[in-house]
């Protein structure tokens, strides 16, 4: 299976700057897993919207899968 490409909105880098390093490593590891399969266990779809949410401890990762293009946009981490 092909890997999905991960893209980050500009606002995500601001969120990363505020995040402690040990937490950031865990978050990035979870995001890397999305590149293998965006339908990972524990994901929740927002009601009536495209984006999905996964959790990494106290953080939520909001992302949108662009289907046929095999791309994932990370919208917000916080």
Q: Give exposure, 36-64, as e/b (b: 16+ Cβ within 10 Å).
A: eebeeeebeeeeeeeebebebeebebbbb
List Cα–Cα distances, 38 to 16, 21, 25, 45, 70, in angstroms.
21, 24, 19, 12, 10
Domain 5-77 sits in CATH 1.10.3720.10: no
33 within 8 A of 26, measured Cβ to Cβ: no
- Please give the pLDDT value at position 1: 61
How far apart CA 47 and CA 3 sit, in angstroms, is: 27
Mean pLDDT of the chain, nearest integer: 85
Q: Give pLDDT tens digits for 46-73.
A: 877 778 888 898 898 888 877 666 677 8
Q: How confident is the model at residue 21 (pLDDT cuts 50, 70, 90)?
A: very high
* pTM for the predicted model, two decimal places: 0.81
């Amino acid at each position: 299976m092909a890997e999905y490409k991960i893209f980050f909105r500009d606002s995500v880098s601001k969120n990363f700057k505020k995040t402690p390093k040990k937490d950031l490593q865990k978050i990035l590891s979870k995001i890397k897993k999305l590149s293998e399969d965006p339908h990972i266990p524990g994901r929740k779809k927002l009601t009536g919207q495209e984006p999905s949410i996964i959790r990494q401890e106290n953080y939520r990762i909001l992302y949108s899968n662009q289907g046929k293009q095999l791309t994932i946009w990370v919208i917000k981490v916080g």
